[in-house]
Homo-oligomer: A and B are copies of this chain.
Amino acid sequence: MHLDTVKDYLKTLQNRITGAIAQLDGGSFISDAWKKPPGEALQGNGITQILENGEVFERAGCGFSHVTGPKLPPSATHDRPELSGAPFEAMGVSLVFHPRNPYAPTVHMNVRMLSAKTADGQTVAWFGGGMDLTPYYGFEEDAVHFHSSCRDALNPFGEHLYPRFKVWCDDYFCLKHRNEQRGIGGIFFDDFSELGSEQSFAMVQSVGDTLLKAYLPIVEKRMNTPYGERERAHQLYRRGRYVEFNLVWDRGTHFGLQSGGRTESILLSMPPLVSWSYQHQAEAGTPEHDLMQRFIVRREWL
């Protein structure tokens, strides 16, 4: 597996996805190529694409980045002592789409690769990523569609993968300070190489290729549902949880901001408009209450 192959796949994936989103929206993404200033230990470049204030999407960000570093951090080589201190490359695509209509859910996807060279010149690569859905109003059929798309992406590589990555996702996207899930979950994996480089990369491609299939039909179904101030207020309040998770718990975001990553690219995930209010509780019997009781919980969807 050549690293250029991975890079080509990721850049094409980014354009395929943002192309489809732009088409649905009718608006267009701005595309911002960036490069880390020379002289820093971490070198790299990326392309940040973002659509703001669209008809369908209030904020949709999708970033590609490619970073090289002189030395793997100890956290990455704990289980790979032979790579301790080796130079590395990391590349990935990360996206968060926030629709305007409160009946349409927010989606997040990430696919990434970390690779390093052993002392005898062999390239070792491992992968991470996944996708998860955060609805503001719950629809069983949407949750089932999203989860079955995730399962279908993974099944060709082993039927044990979906159940494992589904639980991993529930574990990861949990707001521990509220004992609350971020959304209805999906799949999450990290540090993955057990199928070998080629097949692991094929699995990651299958995940990346599934995003539009998993998400677009749901947005298309919900984006024109009539709504009023009540639904909008609920959506803005729930978006606060997205901010709390990403800034407090998400390792990529928190570590990225604290270690000198590119702030505006990292914070692509932030919702466009968010509210906080004290001890907000949905009344029993309302759809907002139903969301919390039956959807934003750990649950088997398939």
Contacts and interface: CB of A to CB of B under 8 A. Distances in A.
Nearest to A98: B276
A49 B30 CA distance: 44
Contacts of A274: 243, 273-276
A264 interface: yes
Contacts of A258: 176-177, 248
Given A248-B258, A258-B248, A278 B268 contact: yes
Contact of A275 (B32, B48, B272, B277): B272
Chain B CB within 10 A, most for which of A50, A257, A258? A257
A72 interface: no
Number of copies: 2
Contacts of A261: 177
A165 to B, nearest CB: 25
Interface residues of A, number: 36
A80 interface: no
A274 to B, nearest CB: 5
B273 A236 contact: yes
Interface of A: 30, 32, 48, 50, 52, 59, 61, 176-178, 236, 240, 243-244, 247-248, 254, 257-258, 260-261, 263-264, 266-268, 270-279
A36 to B, nearest CB: 14
A138 to B, nearest CB: 23
Contacts of A248: 247, 254, 257-258
A270 B240 contact: yes
Nearest to A30: B278
Nearest to A48: B278
B270 A273 contact: no
A276 B240 contact: no
